[in-house]
Amino acid sequence: MTINFRFHNHIRKDGTRKLLVRIRSHNQEANIPVEGIFIEEKYWSKASQLVTARCPQHEIINAKLLDYHQKMKTVQTLYNTKEIDFEQAKLMISAKSSVDSVVTYIATHCQDKSAQWLRNTKCALNRLEFHNGIEKDGLTFEDINRPNLLKLRQRMKEEGRVAETYNSYLAHIKAVYNQAYQDKVTFRKFEFTRDLRLKEDKHSKHLITHTSKEIYDAIDRIQIESNHRSAKEKAIRSFEAVGFWMLKFCMRGGYGKDVTSLTGKNIDFDTAAYRKFQQSSAEGNVLTLQGNTHFLKHKRHKTGNMMYIWYNLPPMGGLIHMLRLLVANTHPKHSYITMSDLQDPSGKLLEKMEEDLLKIFTHNPRKEINKDDAIWNNLNKHLKKIGLSSFESARKTYATTARKLNIPDGIKKRLMGQTDTSIQRHYDNYNDPELVYMMQKAHLQIMNRFNMVELFDFWVQRLSIVMGKDFTDMLVRAPSNLVYTQYAQKLPEIIGVNQVEISKDKAFEASFNLPFQRDLLKNGGMIRLKP
């Protein structure tokens, strides 16, 4: 392959000609215009392939031509080593893409990305199109340029959107562009400089958190306002909303998708082997499994960081049980427990192949994003109607409570599944038994400080009174201080569990009905397994 500069045959009125890059290989040839460069031939140096110092604006022109020199050298090397073909060489020189639009690229090259990534990226691209008057789904990689991004920034400022929203859009646009550049779909290297971002005000933000008294008052506000069926449904959803707020707090500030993805399959021992053993016909055998039945190995949805959650610490288990019952009524199409399960006194939920002690919803929040968002957005509205902020306030409240207790930042971040970006992350071993103990003890302190047991008991009592159905057998009937003090005393023993012995008995056949699950979870029970 040979690549060099040549002039277009047409001479313009001012005596200049358009500069071209000619690519030739065997019987193939292409002439690609050098964008924005028109030169009088008398100023051209064949030896250096640059303009002479006599040419007006020679410094600016030569700076651009030197970029082309580097690009031509790279293309020639890649072609000669058979890393690119002739068509790709043309695209690299012209800095164009090999697809019609960015949407086409995403559809053909990004199938491995999560549904959340796809949705967020398409949302960002849609805003860039809208604010630049580009036809929907017609955005090309050439349209991702500085003027268009600055226009997007300006329009979003005029709309009063916060800097974080624009910066998030920019980050997604940058990610898809750089990925396409790596995939050699676009050959125009575009640098997303820092000045394209909007400065975020991180110091005067007003974070909304709640006190335990505010949660108590919100629960107390819930009532059936009329005899109409919709009034009863509104009350149920309000109880459901505040119940999920408390569950997210118990999950150390988990998000909606963390709740949706809750599963007993992540309890810290081989639950599949356990079910298989109990369902087998053999009698009198004992199975020993490694693990600890008190804890759940839950990967936080946002970061993928492992959270070792004490799932049967009151009132988390009771909340899960009660919310499963409420969701069966309010979301029958999405609820793991069905109305028929509730009507069957024996339950026998374990007979289901996918028996799950903790699952509340059936859908996959990573794939069915719209469905999951619809559920949580609706619950969020009911939360606000009783005077509480969004579900995000549960996470902020948990973090603020930890701060009030002077819990070290490293412990707090680990509890909440955050990624530690400091250098200290390379030295702290949070799997060390003493640090595990410190984390779980810190969680006990936070739960105690927020009076979570009293809030749960009041929630159950109000639910029973307002809905006219007695759920008071779920009450813990003890103050937080007493409950968490006792658990703190047993904490070393609980953490020390590393294996479980399971014996076979006929009681297993009825052991997983709903009443048993209620007793199992409400006061920190285990899966009938003694450590």
Q: Please report, rounded to a whole number, the percentage of residues in the chain having pLDDT higher than 90.
A: 47
* Exposure letters 336-352 (e unless 16+ CB within 10 A, then b): bbeeebeeeeebbbbee
Q: What is the dihedral of CA 187, 191, 197, 203, to 10 degrees?
A: 130
pLDDT of residue 452: 96
Name the pLDDT band for 513 (thresholds 50, 70, 90).
very low
pLDDT of residue 395: 95
pLDDT tens for 25-34 read 888 999 988 8
Residue 186, CA atoms < 13 Å, CB-side half-sphere? 21
Rounded-to-5 percentages of helix, strand, coil across the chain: 50, 10, 35
Structure tokens at 46: 């064949």
Name the pLDDT band for 261 (thresholds 50, 70, 90).
very high
Structural contact between residues 157 and 197, judged by C-beta atoms closer than 8 angstroms: no
pLDDT of residue 526: 40
Across the chain, mean pLDDT equals 85
pLDDT of residue 272: 74
Continuous H helices in 81-211: 86-94, 102-109, 115-131, 146-158, 163-182
pLDDT of residue 494: 86
With 80 as the cut, is the pLDDT of residue 520 above it?
Answer: no
With 60 as the cut, is the pLDDT of residue 498 above it?
Answer: yes
Which is more confident, 279 or 474?
A: 474
Structural contact between residues 23 and 29, judged by C-beta atoms closer than 8 angstroms: yes
Lowest mean pLDDT among 240-254, 276-290, 344-358, 401-415: 344-358
Domain residue spans of the chain: 2-94, 102-196, 212-522
pLDDT tens for 154-179 read 999 999 888 899 999 999 999 999 99
With 60 as the cut, is the pLDDT of residue 187 above it?
Answer: yes
* Mean pLDDT in residue range 494-502: 77
Q: Write the CA distances from 134 to 99, 126, 137, 150, 161, integer angstroms.
A: 17, 9, 8, 15, 21
With 90 as the cut, is the pLDDT of residue 288 above it?
Answer: no
Closest CA to 139 of 149, 151, 127, 129: 129
pLDDT of residue 229: 87
pLDDT of residue 204: 66
